[in-house]
Amino acid sequence: MIRAAEDPVDQPSPFYYMSLRMQDVTGDGGVLKEVLRHGSGRIIPLTASVSVHYSAYSEYTDRPFDSNVQRNMPRFMKIGQDITLLGMELAMPTMKKGEFSRFLFKPQYAYGVMGCPPRIPPNATIMFEMEVLDFLDTVESDEYFSLSQEEQVKYPLDKLLNVANTERELGNHLFHQKRYEDAKDQYKKALSVFANRQQANEAQNQKIHSSKLLLFLNLSIVCLKLDIPSRALVYAERALQIESKHPKALFRCGLACMLMLEYDKAKDFLIKAQKLEPFNPDINSALVKLDSCFREWNVKEKEMCSRMFAASKHATVKDQGLQKI
């Protein structure tokens, strides 16, 4: 439905002309939309958490008064919880992943009669340009974590796996933002859904193991980023308990051991990983680095032994001199 134009004044505003080609989202002309680039997939559900780039403009200005476009990976915002602007809250559930759209928010859907001086005039219509980077439907996660422990144990497996996957994806988003401590907590939250789960058959166990494998691998890499190699090794070894020849798990065990100066163990893990993926540049680079670290460590050991020997020899000569006196 194309929105009907308001009665023009003597000098129609830029937003007025813009509104003529926009769709009415709310039915009262309060939120208008123009799609600049179509997205793909399904429309964002009301139960989703959404990551968007946005820029907000007052009329007659060419610079945004608010924008997060400079952030490579903006935070997820949960619809109905984290979004404070009503127009934005109503705009998101009309969009798809990858979509880039322009919106006009009337004052009642933006900053009201008072505005927000000096950046936003009183009773101002605001233009928002929004691009959906990603979204995750968190309805099952919200449902699961609101249950009692007794109810969680009986939660259907397929839905439980969706909860773990959603929480892991949220952790991945935090990881890419370099919020490593938060990512670690998110991965551990995802892992917690399996804490009291006991399955009746091998097929169900296999599904759980596949989900836990990804989480152990993610926890190992985030612990490496946090410079906690001992924990990284623990999580990578737990991944190997599920899949003994997993190249990423072997590789991360090797990196952790290298950081802990356990070079023999590091070499063993990295060579096993290299046999599985002989042309993997990361594994091969790690082996080169390991060789360099080992040679440097040997040099330092020899220097230390030489200093200790020299000090011991000097002390012996001194003792002998004292005896002659």
pLDDT at 206 over 50: yes
Mean pLDDT, residues 37-59: 96
Q: Looking at the chain, how many residues does it have? A: 325
d(CA 213, CA 252) in angstroms, rounded, equals: 13
Q: Where are the beta strands (DSSP E) in 31-172?
A: 31-37, 40-43, 48-58, 66-67, 77-78, 96-97, 100-105, 126-137
Q: Determine the pLDDT at residue 274.
A: 97
Q: Determine the pLDDT at residue 2.
A: 44
Q: Determine the pLDDT at residue 299.
A: 55
Q: Determine the pLDDT at residue 297.
A: 60
pLDDT at 1 over 50: no
Peptide bond before residue 118 is cis, with ω within 30 degrees of 0: yes
Whole-structure pTM over 0.75, yes or no?
yes
Q: pLDDT class for 102, splitting at 50, 70, 90?
A: very high
Q: Determine the pLDDT at residue 118.
A: 84
Chain centre distance of CA 182: 9
d(CA 157, CA 167) in angstroms, rounded, equals: 15
pLDDT tens figures, 263-319: 999 999 999 999 999 999 999 999 999 988 878 766 565 555 656 555 554 455 455
Q: Which residues contact 146 (CB under 8 A, 6 or more apart)?
A: none
Strand-pair partners of 101: 35, 130
Q: Which residues contact 225 (CB under 8 A, 6 or more apart)?
A: 175, 178, 180
**H/E run at residue 23:** strand 23-24
pLDDT tens figures, 2-42: 444 445 456 788 999 999 999 999 999 999 999 999 999 99
pLDDT tens figures, 123-149: 999 999 999 999 999 999 999 999 999
Q: Determine the pLDDT at residue 5.
A: 47
Q: Determine the pLDDT at residue 88.
A: 97
- Is residue 174 within 8 A of residue 186, CB to CB? The reply is yes
